[in-house]
A and B are shown apart, each in its own frame.
Chain A
Amino acid sequence: MWIYEKKLQYPVRVSKCDPRMAKFLIEQYGGADGELSAALRYLNQRYTIPDKVVGLLNDIGTEEFAHLEMIATMVYKLTKDATPEQLEEAGLGAHYANHDKALFYNNAAGVPWTAAYIAAKGDPIADLYEDIAAEEKARATYQWLIDMTDDPDLQDSLKFLREREIVHSLRFREAVEILKEEQGRKKFF
């Protein structure tokens, strides 16, 4: 059961009026390596993963919806006051023609979201390695988005999201270790 909390996980600020960025940020909304993919992937996998790691998949999946909301907030702030002309200049003419300012689950190229972006093999090692890869891909995508903007406030939020992917990647690696069932934990430092 999901209860919604009426606040963002991180205070998203956008200080530069640059609707052009909205087109690119959408990649993490409805794209293959985006937050929707992540949330649905983990929440779906959790039904058939060993009990020891269900909690982790449940919790990271839930956090990804909070990240989805952050991306939506960025896009919303960048587009809500734009004129149709400004949106067309920003490369969002086709989007406006269909959706006005409404957000939609597609990637930066306009390709709609599909369940083909996620996998659920039923094999916990396969599933967890997919999850690790997904986190690394998302991290890389945030790097490219950070490269594309000079708005320091927008960068703050993107850097936060990028760091979350690094931490999630670590947790999924730990889940693999847990499932390998080796005696005791390997301490590294």
Chain B
Amino acid sequence: MTTANRPVDEQFYQLLRRLQELDFVLVELNLYLDTHPHDAQAIEQYNQTAQQRWEVAQEFESRYGPLMNFGHSYSDYPWQWKEAPWPWQV
């Protein structure tokens, strides 16, 4: 049974964790800003973290394939989106 186009190695879990950490900070800041729209410092932190996050996501995707579908990530040949592992399998 084939798994991902690129094999899932130890680095996969480390990079995934780093991404989950940054994404979590973004979710927390996002919810906070939904009720604190005038906290300029928090907005700045949100934007900076988003930038950091983008860089980590780029690295993750270059090694392990697309994180998002419907055009929010790119794909190699053959079509990568349908490859395992899916999040509940990891």
Contacts and interface: CB of A to CB of B under 8 A. Distances in A.
Say if the two chains contact directly (CB < 8 Å).
Answer: yes
Interface of A: 3-12, 53, 55-56, 59-60, 63, 69, 72-73, 76-77, 167-168, 171, 174-175, 178
A10 B90 CA distance: 12
A174 B35 contact: yes
B19 A7 contact: yes
A73 B35 contact: no
A113 to B, nearest CB: 19
Which residue among B16, B27, B28 has the maximum number of chain A CB atoms within 10 Å of its CB? B27
B86 interface: yes
Given A12-B88, A59-B27, A174-B35, 5 more contacts: A6-B68, A9-B20, A10-B20, A167-B31, A171-B32
B23 A56 contact: no
A171 B67 CA distance: 29
Given A7-B19, A63-B27, A175 B35 contact: yes
B44 interface: no
A41 to B, nearest CB: 16
B31 A7 contact: no
Contacts of A9: 20, 23-24, 27
Nearest to A58: B34
B78 interface: no
A60 B31 contact: yes
A76 B17 CA distance: 21
B87 A8 contact: yes
Contacts of B36: 174
Interface of B: 13, 16-17, 19-20, 23-24, 27-28, 30-32, 34-36, 66-70, 72, 81, 86-88, 90
Nearest to B27: A63
A31 B88 CA distance: 20
A53 B27 CA distance: 16
Contacts of B81: 6
B87 A56 contact: no
Contact of B34 (A6, A8, A76, A171): A171
A76 B88 contact: yes
Contacts of A55: 34
Nearest to A13: B90
Which residue among A5, A60, A168 has the maximum number of chain B CB atoms within 10 Å of its CB? A5
B17 to A, nearest CB: 6
